[in-house]
């Protein structure tokens, strides 16, 4: 029988008749099939999927998987080291019940800090429900900072919090310093300092925060309807455009805009509630609101339905 | 204009008058001594020698200098024998306060001394020499070595408000603006002198980290054309408020202090005659647009 194997390149297997046809892999049978003519090209292909299915709620301490987790390529020393697993069965225990072979050596002592930091970043991100892309970016930033070594003296917690903050900013979904502070052990001052140092060390810069970045989050936390959220976004944007709130932090302007919009609608929120959610003092909201109140008529969007007309808006 | 520049270099200027150096009899050293004695009226205003640009008053608030007496000092002896000294044991230094010029000297046992609080460069030098003289009188074999001005702090106000957000966007490499951390833009300049400027939306600019008064001046000259395109109008209320502030500041130097709230309440409740005063005070208590939150 004619040998059906025709190799064009050293590594590539393909059908002899259709060298350019993509191969379909059938995992269950272990075959590679030509998509054009149906010829089985590969034979007894080893399945690279996992041996065991692992479920997160299984409390079994023994993980039957023999290969361990996926390798973390960019971020670790990428050394293929062997680890002695925990002993099972009677032979692995001493006379006294102590396991004979001591538990796994520190496999990557140079990256111990890295692994700790990644775990920390993961934990923090988990608490505020951040997407995996942000976590990955934060990990990348931490790795870069760690390699650069100019922030060596700073505590790793502070650097990881600052990396998380920068990652959120770079992804276009900034979190306020106070929000990061809430899930971290570090003070806002220290995170701010590390933030500036990291930007200098990595020679990057971040975009300025705008009022619109926080609208959806704050409004959802206050359970305000979409109309109010849109109105608040419009108010804040207009206020910044007209420059009636010079020198005010965008967070305070956003909070004051939400207050104005909510007071004009049916779902009114007090300054204290908004201040709690936004992390702004209610006197700050009051100050920004006082600046915005005189121009209220110009700030509201044209199609806004007033439950409370502008004249009846609180002046405080 | 050249004369004011030279005068500015020496840090001495009278009340807006131009210093005439061509007269030949003007003795700058004498002037400095008189200032230190407190007999001469100190304004510390430095006129900007630019003709096509409105004059901006730069106020030098602090000149920090350091020198060495080149001998080991026994801090305990200084603490016991010296006048107006305070021994800070946890920091390992002695602070000596001078009355004229009003300065504070931090003395370390290595013989290094830092003098802060002076308002002009010659003032600082005189204060440093006074400290060295005091230490000499206590009995140490002092010399006056390595005198240099370490830091000069100054501030000025632009005649207009500044839109700091677009300004910081344009000068990304040199400016850093984080509204959550600080209400001002931190602008760093490197040539011809190193300085850090904090620019606020009200138009006031603070200069720190400059090596000399001249550096402060050149920094302001550098920043003015950069900031001018981003100017914006001031409201009448703001101008009024700034005037009131300046007025109060001037009164404070004479010795008048704004009456505290308690006293004002008492005054209010006593008789109607004082109501006018109380009204004026209330204006100051209005929410300050100028004092931005540092949340």
Q: Do A290 and B287 touch (CB under 8 A)?
A: yes
A83-102: per-residue pLDDT in tens? 676 667 777 777 777 777 76
A160 reaches B (C-beta below 8 A): no
pLDDT at A166: 96
When pLDDT is cut at 50, 70 and 90, the band that residue A149 belongs to is confident
pLDDT at B264: 76
What's the rounded Cα separation, in Å, for the pair A5 and A183? 59
pLDDT at B158: 92
Contacts of A125 (CB under 8 A, 6+ apart): A134, A135, A138, A164
Give me the mean pLDDT over the B155-170 stretch: 93
Q: Please, are residues A33 and A41 in contact by the beta-carbon 8 Å criterion?
A: yes
Q: How many CB atoms lie within 10 A of CB A21?
A: 16
Tokens of A289: 């609101």
B-chain residues near A252 (CB < 8 A): 293, 295
Mind giving me the DSSP string for A89-139? SSTTB-TTS-BSSPSPP-TTGGGHHHHHHHHHHHHHHHHTT--HHHHHHHH
Distance (Å) from the alpha carbon of A230 to chain B's nearest alpha carbon: 24
B196-245: per-residue pLDDT in tens? 999 999 999 999 999 999 999 999 999 999 999 998 888 888 889 888 98
Nearest residue of A to residue B182 by CA position?
A: A249
Q: Please, are residues B84 and B96 in contact by the beta-carbon 8 Å criterion?
A: yes
B289 reaches A (C-beta below 8 A): yes
Over pLDDT 70: what percentage of chain B? 73
Tokens of A97: 């019940």
Interface A:B, Cβ pairs < 8 A: 59
Nearest CB partner across the interface for B201, out of A196, A199, A246: A246
Q: Please, are residues B155 and B58 in contact by the beta-carbon 8 Å criterion?
A: yes
B58-87: per-residue pLDDT in tens? 999 999 999 999 999 999 999 999 889 999
* ipTM (interface predicted TM): 0.76
Name the pTM for this structure: 0.74
Asked whether residue B294 carries a pLDDT value surpassing 70, the answer given is no
Of B171, B181, B238, B239, which to mutate for an interface test with A (greatest number of A Cβ within 10 Å)?
B181
Q: Do A247 and B164 touch (CB under 8 A)?
A: yes
Which residue has better confidence, B84 or A104? Answer: B84
Nearest residue of B to residue A253 by CA position?
A: B179
H/E stretch holding A24: strand A23-26
What's the rounded Cα separation, in Å, for the pair A162 and A121? 10
Which residue has better confidence, A106 or A155? Answer: A155
**Number of helices and strands in chain B (H, E):** 9, 13
Asked whether residue A183 carries a pLDDT value surpassing 90, the answer given is yes
Q: How many CB atoms lie within 10 A of CB A49?
A: 7
A279-307: per-residue pLDDT in tens? 999 999 999 999 999 999 999 999 998 89
What's the rounded Cα separation, in Å, for the pair B73 and B82? 12
B177 reaches A (C-beta below 8 A): yes
B176 reaches A (C-beta below 8 A): yes
B172 reaches A (C-beta below 8 A): yes
pLDDT at B197: 95
Closest CA to A43 of A56, A52, A30: A30
A287 reaches B (C-beta below 8 A): yes
* Average per-residue pLDDT for chain A: 85
B5-53: per-residue pLDDT in tens? 444 444 444 344 333 333 333 344 444 444 444 433 334 444 444 445 6
Question: Which 70-129 residues of chain A touch chain B by CB within 8 A?
Answer: none
Closest CA to B117 of B141, B133, B100: B100
pLDDT at A178: 94
A16-49: per-residue pLDDT in tens? 888 888 888 887 778 888 888 888 887 777 777 7
When pLDDT is cut at 50, 70 and 90, the band that residue A210 belongs to is very high
Nearest CB partner across the interface for B179, out of A249, A287, A290: A249
């Amino acid at each position: 029988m004619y040998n059906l194997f025709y190799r064009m390149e050293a590594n590539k297997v393909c059908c002899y008749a259709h060298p350019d046809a993509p191969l379909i892999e059938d995992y269950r049978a272990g075959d590679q099939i030509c998509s054009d003519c149906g010829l089985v090209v590969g034979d007894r292909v080893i399945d690279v999927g996992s041996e065991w299915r692992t479920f997160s709620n299984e409390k079994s301490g023994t993980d039957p998987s023999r290969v361990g987790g996926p390798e973390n390529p960019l971020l670790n020393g990428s050394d293929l080291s062997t680890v002695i697993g925990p002993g099972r069965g009677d032979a692995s225990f001493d006379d006294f019940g102590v396991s004979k072979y001591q538990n796994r050596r520190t496999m990557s002592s140079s990256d111990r800090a890295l692994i700790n930091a990644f775990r920390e970043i993961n934990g923090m991100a988990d608490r505020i429900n951040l997407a995996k892309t942000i976590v990955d970016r934060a990990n990348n930033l931490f790795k870069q900072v760690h390699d650069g070594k100019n922030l060596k003296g700073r505590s790793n917690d502070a650097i990881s919090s600052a990396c998380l903050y920068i990652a959120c900013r770079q992804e276009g979904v900034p979190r306020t310093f106070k929000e990061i502070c809430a899930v971290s052990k570090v003070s806002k001052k220290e995170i701010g300092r590390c933030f500036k140092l990291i930007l200098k060390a990595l020679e990057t810069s971040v975009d300025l925060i705008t009022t619109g970045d926080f609208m959806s989050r704050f409004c959802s936390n206050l359970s305000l309807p979409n109309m109010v959220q849109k109105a608040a976004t419009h108010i804040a944007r207009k206020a910044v455009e007209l420059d009636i709130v010079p020198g005010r932090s965008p967070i305070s302007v956003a909070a004051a805009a939400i207050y104005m919009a909510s007071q004009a609608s049916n779902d009114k929120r007090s300054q204290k509630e908004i201040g709690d959610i936004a992390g702004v003092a209610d006197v700050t909201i009051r100050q920004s609101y006082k600046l915005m109140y005189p121009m209220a008529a110009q700030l509201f969007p044209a199609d806004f339905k007033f439950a409370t007309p502008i004249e009846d808006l609180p002046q405080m | 204009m050249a004369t004011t520049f030279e005068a500015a270099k020496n840090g001495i200027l009278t009340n807006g008058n131009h210093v005439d150096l061509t007269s030949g009899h003007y003795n700058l050293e004498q002037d400095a001594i008189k200032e230190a004695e407190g007999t001469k009226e100190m304004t510390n205003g430095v006129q900007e020698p630019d003709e096509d640009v409105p004059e901006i008053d730069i106020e030098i608030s602090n000149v920090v200098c350091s020198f060495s007496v080149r001998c080991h000092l026994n801090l305990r002896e200084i603490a016991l024998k010296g006048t107006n000294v305070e021994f800070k044991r946890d920091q390992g230094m002695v602070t000596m306060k001078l009355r004229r010029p009003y300065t504070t000297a931090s003395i370390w046992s290595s013989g290094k001394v830092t003098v802060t609080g002076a308002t002009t460069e010659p003032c600082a030098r005189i204060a440093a020499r006074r400290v060295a003289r005091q230490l000499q009188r206590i009995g140490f074999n002092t010399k006056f070595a390595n005198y240099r001005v370490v830091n000069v702090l100054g501030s000025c106000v632009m005649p207009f408000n500044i839109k700091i957000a677009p300004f910081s966007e344009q000068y990304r490499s040199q400016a850093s603006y984080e509204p959550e951390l600080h209400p001002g833009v931190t602008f760093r300049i490197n040539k011809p002198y190193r300085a850090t400027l904090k620019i606020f939306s009200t138009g006031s600019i603070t200069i720190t980290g400059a090596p000399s008064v001249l550096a402060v001046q050149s920094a302001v000259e550098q920043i003015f054309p950069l900031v001018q395109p981003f100017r914006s109008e001031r409201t009448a209320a703001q101008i009024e408020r700034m005037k009131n502030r300046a007025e109060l500041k001037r009164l404070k130097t004479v010795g008048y202090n704004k009456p505290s709230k308690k006293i004002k309440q008492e005054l209010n409740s006593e008789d109607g005659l004082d109501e006018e005063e109380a009204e004026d005070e209330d204006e100051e208590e209005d929410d300050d647009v100028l004092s931005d939150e540092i949340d």
